[in-house]
Amino acid sequence: MKKVIWIPIVCGLIFGTLSFLVSAVNFTIAISDDLILGPWEILNTISAALFGPIGLLITELGTDIGAYFYLIKDVYPAPQDLHFIMGDYVAHVVAMLATAFGYRLIYKRAKMPLLLGGWVLTLCIFYTLLWLIQVPLFNIAVPGLGATFMGYTRDAIPEFITTTVITSLILLALPQRLRRPQWVELEHAPERSGKIQNE
């Protein structure tokens, strides 16, 4: 039980620090005037899937603190910049909670390659929830921003494709024992089924 608690905390801190450093060193690609592509969602979604609610909360703190200090601070006047980041944090946490529980559900019921198909579906749900929550919160945080669902969907397609491909490759490359959700003890985890049968 202790392992289920400390692994998400430690790994959440590692992923959150990496996410913060991404912003600090500006390791990003400008897709357009409105879209900056970085590895944040790769770190966020993997953290949510493998390290659950605790891991994702810590990772997202690193992401949004990094974004606040290095990407948003000069874009919107105070306190709109803080409101923007708060809206982003809320939207990501809700969407990542769905990712965490979705991946746990799929992992208990599917093996490779069906697991990857379920993961792609989970990411579709993640981005849908993210956009549905972000757009109204951003418009509230920054009056006159004019964020639209169509605009965010169009601009984020490159990010969705990149995140899906890279996270799928990561899950495929991970050993089976590390691919399982590290935040819960799964009674019928695929990697344990062989041991149970052998015993």
Contacts of 102 (CB under 8 A, 6+ apart): 118, 121, 122, 125, 126
Helices 40-67 and 114-141 cross at an angle (nearest 10°) of: 20
Q: How many domains does the chain have?
A: 1
Which CATH number goes with the domain that contains 133? Answer: 1.10.1760.20
Q: Specify the higher pLDDT residue, 56 or 110.
A: 56
Q: Is residue 190 part of a domain?
A: no
Q: Is residue 187 part of a domain?
A: no
Q: What confidence tens digit (pLDDT) does each residue in 125-181 have?
A: 999 999 999 999 999 988 888 888 888 888 788 889 999 999 999 999 999 889 999
Is the per-residue pLDDT at 100 higher than 70? yes
Q: Is residue 160 part of a domain?
A: yes
195 band by pLDDT with thresholds 50, 70 and 90 = very low
Is 48:97 a contact under the CB 8 Å cutoff? yes
Q: What confidence tens digit (pLDDT) does each residue in 46-87 have?
A: 999 999 999 999 999 998 888 777 777 778 888 888 888 999
Task: State whether the Cα torsion 189-190-194-195 is positive or negative.
Answer: negative
Burial class (CB in 10 A: 0-12, 13-18, 19+), 49: buried
Q: What is the pTM of this model?
A: 0.84
Q: Which of 156, 112, 104 is nearest to 130 (CA)?
A: 156
Q: Is residue 6 part of a domain?
A: yes
Is the per-residue pLDDT at 121 higher than 50? yes
Q: Is residue 109 part of a domain?
A: yes
Alpha carbon separation from 124 to 15, 31, 45, 157, 159 (Å, rounded): 22, 21, 12, 11, 12
32 band by pLDDT with thresholds 50, 70 and 90 = low
Q: Is residue 120 part of a domain?
A: yes
The amino acid occupying position 82 is L
What is the reported pLDDT for 80? 87
Q: How many whole angstroms separate alpha carbon 165 and alpha carbon 99? A: 16
- Domain hosting residue 97, numbered range: 2-181
Q: Is residue 197 part of a domain?
A: no
